[in-house]
């Protein structure tokens, strides 16, 4: 029997990048997977796509209910949808701050809130939040984004405490810079995309970006029954970026 067979999973932001890789991997390991996204039109079988905007509570509730109905329950929730923001605290106005936190923090709240009654009924309930290295390292030009991801890491712990006695595990993954369409868009906007990519690669101790599949593998582990005693953790998938302090390479 496959590792995740008979488990029902919902992945937000599952039409692209890390979320897409996660949905595909969970399905390959035997889970029935639904994807919730602003535009799930690119989602292929066997994944099922549902339109929802995580900044809209009614839309989230109706998509979670529809997905759980089709799947026949819910065991795994991956809160992965997110948007980027660049700049110092001087560069984003209040509307941008409200929008960034609404999607990246309250998005986790809305989807989990809608899913909790279903997760309580599961014998293998797991929530995995896609957090970021931005929660634990000070990155330049990422004030709004980092504030949101810091909140997601703290929220992960608070949710863990609230729901541990209900049999619901909650963890997060903290990717370093990952080679997804998101980062592709950032590189496209740079004045010198090649130099920008080289700078991002150099920031990772391993000298390369993280892959979406590597983050998906960590999410799949945290979501699986094999991680049955793992809760309230943040698993870094960052090529060593958070923990290592290397000397410059000898020339």
Residues identified as active-site: 145
For residues 192 to 231, the per-residue mask of contacts with ligand NAD, x marking binding by CB under 6 A and - elsewhere, is ----------------------------------------
Q: Which of 80, 112, 171, 224 binds ligand NAD (CB under 6 A)?
A: 80
Q: Residue with structure tokens 């903290």? A: 174
Q: How far is the CB of 177 from ligand NAD (least distance, A)?
A: 4
Closest residue (Cβ) to ligand NAD? 17
Concatenating the DSSP letter of every residue in 102-161 gives IIIIIHHHHHHHHHHHHHHT-SSEEEEEE--GGGTS--TTBHHHHHHHHHHHHHHHHHHH
Contacts of 9 (CB under 8 A, 6+ apart): 23, 26, 31, 32, 33, 34, 71, 74, 75, 76, 77, 78, 223
Q: Which of 25, 81, 125, 241 binds ligand NAD (CB under 6 A)?
A: 81
* Tokens, residue 64: 């979670």
Q: Is residue 168 close enough to count as binding ligand NAD by CB under 6 A?
A: no
* CA distances in angstroms from 43 to 28, 51, 67, 168, 180, listed in the order given: 15, 11, 14, 28, 16
Residues within window 132-161 making contact with ligand NAD, judged by CB under 6 A:
132
Q: Is residue 182 close enough to count as binding ligand NAD by CB under 6 A?
A: yes
Stretch that binds ligand NAD, among 86-94, 117-125, 153-161, 176-184 (CB under 6 A): 176-184
Q: Which of 175, 214, 218, 219 binds ligand NAD (CB under 6 A)?
A: 175
Residue ranges in contact with ligand NAD by CB under 6 A = 12-13, 15-19, 37-39, 52-55, 80-83, 103, 130, 132, 175, 177-178, 180-183
């Amino acid at each position: 029997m496959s590792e995740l067979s008979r488990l029902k999973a919902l992945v937000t932001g599952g039409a692209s990048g890390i979320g897409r890789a996660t949905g595909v991997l969970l399905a390959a390991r035997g889970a029935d997977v639904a994807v919730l996204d602003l535009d799930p039109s690119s989602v292929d079988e066997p994944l099922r796509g549902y339109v929802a905007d995580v900044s809209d509570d009614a839309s989230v509730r109706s998509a979670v209910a529809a997905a759980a109905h089709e799947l026949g329950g819910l065991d795994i929730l991956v809160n992965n949808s997110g948007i980027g923001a660049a700049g110092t605290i001087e560069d984003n106005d209040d509307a941008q701050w409200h929008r960034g936190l609404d999607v990246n923090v309250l998005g986790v709240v809305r989807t989990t809130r809608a899913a909790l009654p279903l997760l309580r009924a599961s014998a293998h309930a797991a929530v995995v939040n896609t957090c970021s290295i931005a929660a634990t390292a000070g990155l330049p030009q990422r004030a709004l984004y980092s504030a949101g991801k810091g909140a997601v890491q703290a929220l992960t712990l608070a949710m863990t405490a609230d729901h541990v006695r209900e049999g619901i595990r909650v963890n997060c993954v903290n990717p370093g810079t990952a080679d997804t369409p998101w980062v592709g868009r950032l590189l496209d906007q740079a004045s010198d995309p090649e130099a920008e990519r080289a700078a991002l690669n150099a920031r990772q101790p391993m000298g390369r970006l993280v892959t979406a599949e590597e983050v998906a593998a960590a999410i799949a582990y945290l979501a699986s029954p094999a991680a049955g005693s793992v809760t309230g953790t943040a698993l870094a998938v960052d090529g060593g970026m958070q923990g290592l302090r290397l000397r410059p390479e000898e020339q």
